[in-house]
Structure 1
Amino acid sequence: MSIERIDGCIGCGTCVSTCPTDVLRLNEKTGKAEIRYPQDCQVCYLCQQYCPVDAITISAGKTIPAITAW
């Protein structure tokens, strides 16, 4: 998994709106972000970068192959 954990989420939804692959969702009951589709994470770091409270921890264990256009 690329996103290891979300601790201290305030439920602002910024990570959900910045994620280009729809990995994160707001939990309807708690109102806080949760990792819904971890296999789709592209390790772009946008959710971590834009989180106002630094609640998201990302591991660099998954790498994205370089795209080469010929």
Structure 2
Amino acid sequence: MHIMFNNPLVYVVEYAGLEAVEVIDKRIGRGALIRDDAARRFREELKELVTTTKRSGRKSSTPSWCRGRRC
């Protein structure tokens, strides 16, 4: 188990041996398990989001389209 992402809204855990990612919504305490090709794509897109956030100098790890909303 590896914590990939953690912010006030979402917790993302990677299960490398299972080729899976679990996304947990902290507000409602529910999660979804993503496996195989979908998990690989999710990892790539999450990495891109984090890289873009760091490059733009934003302090928040929450995407701008999600702030102030129930995303």
TM-score (norm 2): 0.28
**Greater relative contact order: 1 or 2 (C-alpha under 8 angstroms, separation 6 or more)?**
1
- Structure number having the greater helix percentage: 2
- Structure number having the greater strand percentage: 2
